[in-house]
Amino acid sequence: HGVPFGVIFGGTDVNEDAGQEEKKEVMGRVLQEARFAVAFTDSMKETVLTQWPHAKGKIYVQSQGIATTPNAAFDWNSFLERAEIHQSTENLHVFLLVCGLRRVKDPVYLLDAFSEWHQEEPNVYMVIVGPEARGVRLLGEMPQGDLHAALRRCCALVNSSVSEGMSAAILEAMDLEVPVLARNIPGNAAVVTHGVTGLLFADPQEFVCLAKRLVRDPVLEKALVANGRDYVSRRHSWAVERDTYQHLVEKLEGHVEE
C-alpha cells in the first residue's frame, strides 16, 4: 500500500470540490487509503460522511489550535502609508480583510457597501491583506508577526468568504482581542456566536449596519473581545492540537493500537 498517510480537510475541499464528480471520486479514493482524516468541526465531519460514508471510523474532529505572535517592532504608521491612508490615526477605524483573491473568499463582496459608508464617514477604511494578483493593488502578504501586530491595531477583522472550513484569521483576531465581523456561513457560525463572540452578517447592508454599531458602541466591543478571547483559550488550545496530531502520527508509525 506504499507510505501510510493521513489527511486533514481544509474547507474548500469539502464545501466546494466535493460538488464536482471527478474531484469527489479522487477524494473518495484518497480517503479509502488514508489511515485517518481530520475535520475541524462536527458539522464538517457530518458533511464528509454524507459524501463518503465508507470513511466512518477513521475521521477525528480536532479544531485548529491558535497561538499569536505580534511583532513588537511593527510600525503602524508605515502600514497605513503603504495602504495609502493619509490621515490622523485619531478616530481612525480600519477594518482588515485577510484573504487571497479567490472566488471562494469573495473579497469584493463588501466593496460597494463599504465605499458608500466611507463617503459618509471618511475615517473608516477597509484594507485587504493577502497574496497579490496581477494588476490588482492591495497590501501583499506580510510576515505573520507583522500581520498580528497590524490586526491588533484594527477596529475589526472581516471575513466575507462564500465558504470556510475554519478561519484561522478569525481565531487569531479573537486571541488578539480584536472584534470579528464575519459572513453568516456554516464554517464561520461554528466559531462565531452572533452578539457573543463576534458579529455575523447576511449581506453587505447588514455588514455596514453592524460595523457602524461596533464603532459607536464600546460596551459591545468590550463584551465581544472578552468573550472571543475566552472562547479561543478554552476551545482552540495549540497544546491540545499538538497532542492530537502526535497521537495520529504515532498511529501512522504503528506505535499506537486503537
Integer Cα distance of 230 and 226 in angstroms: 6
Q: Does the pLDDT of residue 40 top 60, yes or no? A: yes
For the residues 13-17, what does the mean pLDDT come to?
Answer: 68
- pLDDT for res 133: 57
Choose among 198, 195, 193, 196: nearest CA to 173.
198
Cα 223 from chain centroid?
Answer: 20
pLDDT at position 47 is: 87
* For range 151-162, the mean pLDDT: 96
Q: What is the mean pLDDT of the chain?
A: 90
Averaged pLDDT, 207-221: 98
Q: Which part of the chain is CATH 3.40.50.2000?
A: 76-235
97, pLDDT greater than 90: yes
**Residue 139: per-residue pLDDT:** 86
Instruction: Please name which of 40, 2, 38 lies closest in space to residue 248, comparing C-alpha atoms.
Output: 38
Which of 21-25, 85-89, 110-114, 165-169 comes out lowest in average pLDDT? 21-25
* The pLDDT value given to residue 220: 98
Element (H, E) at 181: strand 180-183
The pLDDT, as a whole number, for residue 134 is 60
What pLDDT, on the 0 to 100 scale, is given for residue 132? Answer: 61
Neighbour order of strands in the sheet with 6-8? 6-8, 36-39, 59-61
Taking the CA atoms of 141, 147, 153 and 158 in sequence, report the sign of the dihedral they define: positive
pLDDT surpasses 60 at 218:
yes
> Where residue 17 falls among pLDDT bands split at 50, 70, 90?
low
Choices 3.40.50.2000, 3.40.50.620, 3.10.20.30, 3.40.50.970: CATH for 76-235:
3.40.50.2000
